[in-house]
Amino acid sequence: MRLTISHITEYRYDEPSQFSLQRLRLTPLTGIGQTVHDWKLTVEGARPEVEYDDQFANRVTLVSLDGEQEATRIVASGEIETQDLNGVLGPHSGFGPLWLFLRDTPRTKAGKLTKELLRGVSGDNELGRMHALMSAIHQTVDYKPGSSDTETTAEQALEKKSGVCQDHAHIFIAAARALNIPARYISGYLMMEGKNEQAATHAWAEAHVPGLGWVGFDPANDVCPDERYVRIATGLCYRDAAPVSGMRVGGPGESLTVKVTVASQGQSQSQS
């Protein structure tokens, strides 16, 4: 499937910013299951500082904005060809060893509620348990935009029994690691049926299953990723794969607007 993607991020400041340094993980790479035909990343008024691949092999672009800025507008767009691999990406590769993906982070530390969730998860093998885990999370935690933020932990989302795709991914990762199965966080895009425009990127998880390697699981939708999904960045949790992070010199107040459009070739799309 050939997907056309537009992703616009805009920060508006209560007081003009004097300087900012932004780390952008907004560049999908050609790899298993996806081929990038065209991609462009721009930040109005920014000076490119450096581009590099981080420890998780994410393409990172570092830009700075100097002088008074009332807003920062980041635009990523392009075309990507995808394949349906039933979520199977195969053997581990990259800079980090596989055992690194057993390491907890504050967002993915398994606690009492994660262990209670695992008591109801069973399967004939690791793959079966991961599918059962994905369904258990989907049934336990309601998708509710605005019920969490980027600092919400897996245990907090389980306590509320609500969250967004980021929370579903963190719970899956915490539970998989508690079973001694390496797991990682994925940020990316999802083409939704009948809805091209979205208010955010998507997130899901991958587990390293014996005999298959990395396999994707999307607990928010209770499916394994297919040709509707595009991977952008990965890491131990949201922090490593955040689309935009950095620092700013100026007043504390800011507002954020995100607009994502994902459409298959032939579908109509609109963008600002």
Note the pLDDT of residue 153. Answer: 97
Which pLDDT value is given to residue 269? 42
CA distances from 119 to 48, 137, 156, 181 (A): 50, 12, 18, 16
Amino acid identity of residue 214, one-letter, is W
Show pLDDT as tens, one digit a residue, over the chain (272 residues): 999 999 999 999 998 889 999 999 999 999 999 999 999 999 988 999 999 999 999 999 999 999 888 999 999 999 999 999 999 999 999 888 999 999 999 999 999 999 999 999 999 999 999 999 999 999 999 999 999 999 999 999 999 999 999 999 999 999 999 999 999 999 999 999 888 888 899 999 999 999 999 999 999 999 999 999 999 999 999 999 999 998 888 877 889 999 999 999 866 444 33
Position 61 scores a pLDDT of 97
Contact 137, 219 (CB under 8 A): yes
- Closest CA relative to residue 7, chosen from 81, 80, 85: 80
- pLDDT in the model for residue 267: 61
pLDDT digits (tens, 9 = 90+) for 18-54: 999 999 999 999 999 999 999 999 998 899 999 999 9
Supply 82's token pair.
Answer: 């995808």
Question: What are the phi and psi torsion angles at 3 (to 5°)?
Answer: -110, 140
Q: What is the pLDDT of residue 233?
A: 98
Beta strands (DSSP E) in the chain are 2-24, 34-43, 47-53, 59-82, 88-90, 142-143, 162-163, 183-190, 197-198, 202-209, 213-217, 229-235, 244-249, 254-264
